[in-house]
Structure 1
Amino acid sequence: MLDIAADLARWCAEGRAFAVATVVGTSGSAPRGAGAALAVDAGGTAVGSVSGGCVEGAVYELCREVAETGEPVLETFGYSDEDAFAVGLTCGGVIDILVAPGPHAGGPAADVLRAALAAAAGGEAAAVARVVGGPAALVGRALLVRPDGTYEGRLAGPLPDLPDWDGTALERTAAAEAAALLDAGRTDTVAVGAEGARCGEPVTLLVEVSVPAPRMVVFGAIDFAHALVRMGKFLGYRVTLCDARPVFATARRFPEADEVAVRWPHEYLADALAAGELDGRTVLCVLTHDPKFDVPLLTAALRLPVAYVGAMGSRRTHQDRNRRLREAGVTDLELARLHSPIGLDLGARSPEEVAVSIAGEIVAARRGGTGVPLTGAHTPIHRERRTAGERRAGDVA
């Protein structure tokens, strides 16, 4: 739901009636993960997607029905052996989809959902934990959790169908789980016991997170940087172009960049780190291939807990740069983090092709891909998300 928050927040402000279909469970080769959403308003306007096209038509009709009735529906879609063109996922996966009315319908979670949509639409970091499975009186209730651990909404207190219900432990556990996933920047489902432990009557929470866009910093105002800045924006990054040469580093030359910084690269990196602007999702692309810029920049960059550090240059440049970095005190373990020469072997020549090559390597590093062709390969197409405990330092959500 939060991935289409801008549209839904606007619909709320306009007073529109709508329903949202959200993926709350997946198995097999599901095309989209938990949290993917499709919303349809009373007039039939649709935004978002839950399956990349496989079941959109059926889900669209469910949304229109729920927008009218106000009654939520939980539906499962899977592959049909009898008719591959029947409503289902021909990729072989199974998805569980919860279709629920928007905040216009009222209910105990309406204010929480409005606040969550407003926060996500405004680029704020926030998580919303919704009960999508468990006692009927709890299903649909939600908490909005902020980065500092504070939250809005209630799971505790007596409920109409559960007069003796306390729920304080469940509420605290739900808030803690949501805060942990928010910190990891990851949307997921969590199963806990009704008393807040990992046992007891099960309660399933869908925790959707909204975090500011990850950073991509492109160092070097060269022709390849033009294409890479555009590619970074296409991938959803907040892109900064940094170069120490004011004649080249201008907003006019890089209009797609969110920021153009005329700074020595290593100084910019130090200030960005001090300001808390770099994290485990940050991508650093060094295109300068000039030792006076590269060596101090990479010496610092390879010691940061960022997701990716890549550097452009020929193999001869790469060998010379590694020698200089070792002389500057960079260890072999730190050098092993460097993607150089940058990008995948696509035979790329033009700046646009090189940008695709670099982007492919970034996505592979982010998602744990191999970079090999899927044709004839035995690698999974859709990889399962790892739990927070399985994530390596520098992983991207």
Structure 2
Amino acid sequence: MISREQVARTAESIAAIQQEDGGVPWPEGHVDAWNHVECLMAMSVAGLREPVRRGYAWLARHQRDDGSWPMKLIDGAPAERGGETNHAAYVAAGIWHHHLVTGDQRFTEESWPMVKAALDFVVDMQTERGEIVWERDAEGTPATYALLTGCSSIHQGLRCGVRLADHLGDPQPHWELAADRLAHVLNDHPEAFADKSRFSMDWYYPVLGGAVRGRRAAELLEREWDTFVVPGLGIRCVSDQPWVTGAETCELVLALDAVGDRERALALFADMQHLRHEDGSYWTGWQFVNRRHFPHERSGYTAAAVVLAADALFGYSPGSGLFRDVDGACVSDPDVCGCAAGTGGRLPPNAADEIL
């Protein structure tokens, strides 16, 4: 396992790659809203307030009139102009997480218009059946299909948005209805989604995003365990390649923790530590037949997933229960899981002093 100090160092490795304008890029150099928000969440856990503030200012600056963000930005300019629904929805998860971690009411209130516009963009893309299509292209035309991983993440974003709305006294019942309809489709209508089943994310994301819980979650995770999990190394990114990736492994850790499977969560978290670099950053993946890092890069989003998994497992911040409390009600006994939701959404005393 890694220590609290090592987790802080990993968060600092994310701050080290943040661009001057506040964006947190992929190794290739572009920024997208989803991975950017995940990195801000990780830095929030470590108490890196100034980089986090600059990151959320970047989001506000680049949000478009319809509530979306360009798929990719390079040096602050759109490189791909379509808008992804899961990118927009994750902003709500980020702002709710920031509120849980810091208790900064003023920042939450200032960020609310950005969240409202983003989630209204998302629910406008919901079909009659309930799935949410993955993008609106540069000409404003919605896609013709939905993605299971993306919709699972959107489910979490909508639930976090509902929590924000209720906290701020500005209820948005259409978001809650959209989340309920989306959860139904994620549970009962697999035909609603494009087939991306070779990707491990399509396996565990319905649990990670909170749409699938209880017995169904346990059955879902068992179904493909042997397909994707490589003992001692982590989990495959895709089923047909000898390649384990750190971000996907840590997201499965979060999913396992969310349903109370702590033993396997801890084991997988330990397994993926072979990807840790001496400076606290993480290699994206490991090709275990060729025995080399692939791609040959260390990514901010992998480091962010490690920090969020460590927080969920060891409770470093008041936001550690974010993935356990996706639907607004603890799935565990609050006295056992210790998440912020166990206080009815109120932060524990001196919460801001308890971050790393």
Richer in helix (by share)? 2
TM over 0.5: no
- Specify which structure has the bigger relative contact order, considering alpha-carbon pairs within 8 angstroms and separated by 6 or more residues: 2
Give TM class, smaller chain: under 0.3
Q: Which has the higher strand share?
A: 1
Q: Under a length normalisation based on structure 1, what TM-score does the superposition of the two structures give? A: 0.24
Question: So what's the TM-score if we normalise by structure 2?
Answer: 0.26
